[in-house]
Homo-oligomer: A and B are copies of this chain.
Amino acid sequence: MLNGERLISRPLRWAMVGGGRTGQVGYKHRTGALRDNTAFELVAGAFDIDAERGKDFGVNIGVPENRCYSDYQTMFAEEANREDGIDVVSIATPNATHYDICKAALEADLHVICEKPLFFTTEEAQFIKELAEEKGKIVGVTYGFSGHQLLLQMRAMIEQGKIGDVRVVDLQYTHGFCATDEGDQKNDAQKWRVDPKVAGPSFVLGDLSTHTYYMSQLILPHMKIEKLLCDRQSFVGSRAPLEDNAHVLMHYDNGAVGTMWTSSINAGCMDAQRIRIVGSKASLEWWDSRPNELIYEIQGEPSQTLVRAMPYLDESCNRDERLGALHAEGLSESWANIYLKFAAAIDAKDRGDEETLKNLVYPDIDAGLEGVRWVENCVRSADQGAVWVDFE
Contacts and interface: CB of A to CB of B under 8 A. Distances in A.
Interface of A: 1-6, 11, 21, 24, 26-28, 30-31, 34-38, 57, 60-62, 163-164, 167-168, 170, 175-177, 179-180, 229, 231, 233, 235, 245, 247, 249, 255, 257, 259, 261, 263, 265-270, 272, 278-283, 288-292, 296-307, 310-312, 322-333, 385-388
Contacts of A30: 4, 36
**What copy number does this chain have within its complex?**
4
Contact of A283 (B261, B269, B298): B269
Question: Which of A231, A296, A298 is packed against the most chain B CB atoms within 10 Å?
Answer: A231
Contacts of A267: 163-164, 167, 278-283, 297-299
B289 A328 contact: yes
A219 to B, nearest CB: 16
A36 B60 CA distance: 11
Contacts of A265: 167-168, 278, 280
A138 B379 CA distance: 49
Given A235-B167, A280-B179, A324 B24 contact: yes
Nearest to A189: B324
A233 B179 CA distance: 35
Contact of A323 (B1, B176, B305, B331): B331
A176 B299 contact: yes
A298 B5 contact: no
Question: Which of A281, A283, A299, A310 is packed against the most chain B CB atoms within 10 Å?
Answer: A299
Contacts of A61: 4-6, 36-38
A168 B262 CA distance: 12
Nearest to A325: B177
Nearest to A246: B257
Contacts of A168: 245, 263, 265-266
B326 A329 contact: no
B301 A312 contact: yes
Nearest to A19: B3
Contacts of A261: 170, 259
A189 to B, nearest CB: 9
A234 to B, nearest CB: 11
Given A24-B324, A26-B3, A167-B235, A266 B289 contact: no
Contacts of A282: 267-268
A330 B280 CA distance: 30
Question: Ordered nearest first, which 7 A-B pairs have the shortest CB separation?
Answer: A268-B297, A330-B330, A328-B330, A302-B304, A267-B299, A5-B60, A176-B299
